[in-house]
Amino acid sequence: MRLFRRSKKNRTSKTPPQRRVLFVSHEATLTGAPKIILNILKHFAGTCDIQCETILQTGGDLSTEFEMHSAVDCLNLPKASSPELKKRIGKVVAREKNNVPILAICNSMESRYIAKEIAELDIPVIMLVHELPSSYSEEDYQGVYETAQKVVFPVNAVQEAANEKTPIPNSKSIVLPQGLLDPTFGTGITREVAYSQIRKELQLPENSFIVLGCGSLDLRKGIDHYVNIARRVIANNQSSTPVHFVWVGEGARWTHSPYHYVKLDLEKTPARDHVHFIGPRNNVEPYFVGADAFMMSSRVDPFPCVIHEAMASSLPIITFADSGGACEAIDNGAGFIVPYAHYEQAANVINLLANQPEIAAGIRQKSKERVSERYRFEDYGDKLVDLAEFVTQNQLRIPATLSFPTVPDQLPTTQRRAA
């Protein structure tokens, strides 16, 4: 059984079939990339007169939500080229006679194998590349450039890094920053309630200054950086304001995991009672709203969704230079950029914010304004629809939702179930 979303209008046997658009994700886990393509799918489903179909390489917790907005084919195949992948993609594409998909939007470098098979069937591909190139080869990038009509990067830092690894054809490269996934994030609870709630739950002093971290418990997210910064903050803090570090997220905690050794080091220092790895939370909003600052400790993070959530929660952000796109997000005074892995400087910033609340208050306002003005997901979705119309030379929007009278002649060049 295949699940289809309801058509936007009553259709008869004489009505032409809706044009098919494919949305591709390498998985359906509760992580950034699947959430981004799911939101893109929702935007297209709500504003365009198309038949939405999703191809998942593997499934996950978001599979049901994908099914609410599209037909879903979950391949459950390894992320690699194979005769079986080619056969499955061919079956999906040819499923409706005389109604071949007009476009595929493929999210992340991890979807490149599916994208290649789709492109070989003469279906235009828009490729969304969020990753920094440290984990991919020149051949991987060259394959993506040959596959896609347009390659969309979330920030200039990611585009520039990819171009340095493998030069990008100018006509294919576009920078479009994605927006805050949930436009209501940060408004579901007041700061006063969240502030008290978190400190009570974690049994922290009422006047604690909380530095939030969020993500998987791994080295890419820099949990060791996070703890080393905490150690210096606690060692240098001369004020009466206690500073606590709260990390939301889960990962491997077994012996010899990164977390195991980070925790082992932490237990030998005075900071051991000030760092709290509290695991995952179904609703992370109260932890963002009730915190006082956000520490982006990642080694490599192209343009993480948590940055938008931190800004929507009015948090000052501290991030490392040369670690990804977070620096571009906060470059108007929404936070602090410190040299990569410079623990002492990061600790000085945190102690400054903890002990001079008037400085923190000003940055809080700028952080909130930045995400409201620049990082709206609706704007991102509209620009992707513009791009889809340009690539396919078709009007896809339902007329009532048109935001542009015509497709632009030129776009910026910088910028569950088995099949």
Question: What's the rounded Cα separation, in Å, for the pair 419 and 396?
Answer: 26
pLDDT surpasses 50 at 409: no
Question: Quick one: three-class SS letters along 4-66?
Answer: CCCCCCCCCCCCCCCEEEEEEECCCCCCHHHHHHHHHHHHHHHHECEEEEEEECCCCCCHHHH
1-53 pLDDT, tens per residue?
344 433 344 455 566 789 999 999 999 998 889 999 999 999 999 999 999 99
Topology alike, domains 19-179+376-401 and 191-374:
yes
CATH 3.40.50.1820 for the 191-374 domain, yes or no: no
Orientation angle between helical segments 343-355 and 357-374, nearest 10 degrees: 100
- In this prediction, residue 401 carries a pLDDT of 54
Domain ranges of the chain: 19-179+376-401, 191-374
Residues above pLDDT 70, as percent of the chain: 92
Orientation angle between helical segments 32-47 and 305-312, nearest 10 degrees: 70
Whose tokens are 């609870």? That residue is 189
pTM above 0.75, yes or no: yes
What average pLDDT score do residues 339-363 get?
A: 95
pLDDT surpasses 50 at 415: no
175-203 pLDDT, tens per residue?
999 999 999 999 999 999 999 999 999 99
Average confidence score pLDDT of the chain: 91
- In this prediction, residue 24 carries a pLDDT of 98
- In this prediction, residue 321 carries a pLDDT of 95
- In this prediction, residue 10 carries a pLDDT of 46
Question: What's the rounded Cα separation, in Å, for the pair 211 and 245?
Answer: 5
Please give the CATH topology (third level) of the domain spanning 19-179+376-401. Rossmann fold (3.40.50)
120-173 pLDDT, tens per residue?
999 999 999 999 998 899 999 999 999 999 999 999 999 999 999 999 998 899
317-329 pLDDT, tens per residue?
999 999 989 999 9
More confident residue, 333 or 345: 345
- In this prediction, residue 14 carries a pLDDT of 62
Longest dimension (CA), the chain: 77
If residue 182 lies in a helix (H) or strand (E), which one and from where to where? none
**Both ends of the chain: CA-CA distance in Å?**
11
pLDDT surpasses 60 at 213: yes
291-300 pLDDT, tens per residue?
999 999 999 8
Residues above pLDDT 90, as percent of the chain: 84
